Amino acid sequence: MAAVAQRPRPDRVRRGSLSRTEARVGLLFVLPCLLLFLVFRFGPAAAGLLLSFTDYAPGADTHFTGLENFARLLDDPLFWSALKVTVLYTVLAVPAGIAASLGLALLTRRAFRGSKLFRSVFFLPVVTSLVLASTVFVWIFSTDGPWSAVMGFLGLPEQNWLSDSVLVLPALALVGIWSRCGYGMLILLARLQELPAELEEAALVDGAGPWQRFRHIVAPQLRPAFFFLAVIETTVSFQVFDAVYMMTGGGPANASYSLVFQLYDTGFKYFDFGYASAIGCALFVLTVVVALIQRIFLGKEK
């Protein structure tokens, strides 16, 4: 009797076989797109890794150089300067950007008259061309622009922030925050709308203030969204290029010369693609290390 009871039922066998057949058919349908994705997504990455071990340059013979390009990185002061600029920009842009995103999400969390319009306006910079916006910000940060007028109204020196080696990174960080905080707002807003209202209502009945409700109820439940945003925004900040290229060109005095800008110069200005690929590999390793650190502090659930 026990042996009979353990035998699989025929209908279950048929359903399992049918499910496997449907899975194989579905895989065949998505296989062309999957292959294209693998080729164009991971193909360039693999090619860049291979080029980092060579001295490849267009029109010249290519030789395998081993770790020579990476040893060259360690002795390149321009690389360390670009790394410092990239890290400083990320430190300025990412925390402030997440804070701005949280503020906008909390501001538009409740439905009110015109709330959808405000959400659309706040998200508009995300879909706006950063190249076009950068030309406008060049005028905004100029000596005769509105930013200098605001600084003069506050009693601060009126000057072009983009031509100052100390203020150029804060200016670029402001542009980055403006262009990205709408995306973070949507991520946090989606999470906020999923939170059970009963918890906040119970805390309100117990006499908890707005800050206490946010600190002890809302913020802990936003932890996964904060981790996701931290990883995404850090990756984007490490790859900053458009605004730097359009607004400063890496100046003044290399004060805004980022790693991606050095990669661009090395590869497409000096045609040293082997060394440029090594810079790209170093940037990838840096991004992964920072993501793992963020995982330790933000990604683990209690």
Predicted structure pTM score: 0.86
Higher pLDDT, 197 or 81: 81
Q: Is 64 helix (H, G, I), strand (E, B) or coil?
A: strand
- Whether the per-residue pLDDT at 14 is higher than 80: the answer is no
pLDDT band for 296, please (50, 70, 90 cuts).
confident
Whether residue 301 is predicted with pLDDT greater than 70 in this model: the reply is no
Q: In angstroms, rounded to a whole number, what is the distance separating the alpha carbons of residues 188 and 30?
A: 32
The percentage of the chain sitting over the pLDDT mark of 90, rounded to a whole number, equals: 49
pLDDT digits (tens, 9 = 90+) for 125-135: 999 999 889 99
pLDDT of residue 300: 61
For range 49-63, the mean pLDDT:
88
For residues 293 and 85, the answer to whether their CB atoms sit within 8 Å is no
CATH of 71-299, one of 2.40.340.10, 1.10.10.10, 1.10.3720.10, 3.40.50.2300: 1.10.3720.10
Cis peptide before 252 (omega within 30 of 0): yes
Confidence of residue 1 (pLDDT cuts 50, 70, 90): very low
Residue 125 Cα distances to 122, 145, 177, angstroms: 7, 20, 10
Residue 66, sorted as left (phi over 0), alpha (psi -120 to 50) or beta, turns out to be left
Q: Is 54 helix (H, G, I), strand (E, B) or coil?
A: strand
User: In this structure, what token pair is assigned to residue 276?
Assistant: 């440029």
Round to whole Å and give the CA distance between 24 and 101: 43
Q: CA 235 to CA 286: how far, in whole Å?
A: 10
Q: What is the pLDDT of residue 85?
A: 95
Q: Is the pLDDT of residue 13 over 60?
A: no
Residue-level pLDDT at 188? 93
Extract the tokens encoding 200. Answer: 């906040």
pLDDT of residue 288 exceeding 80: yes
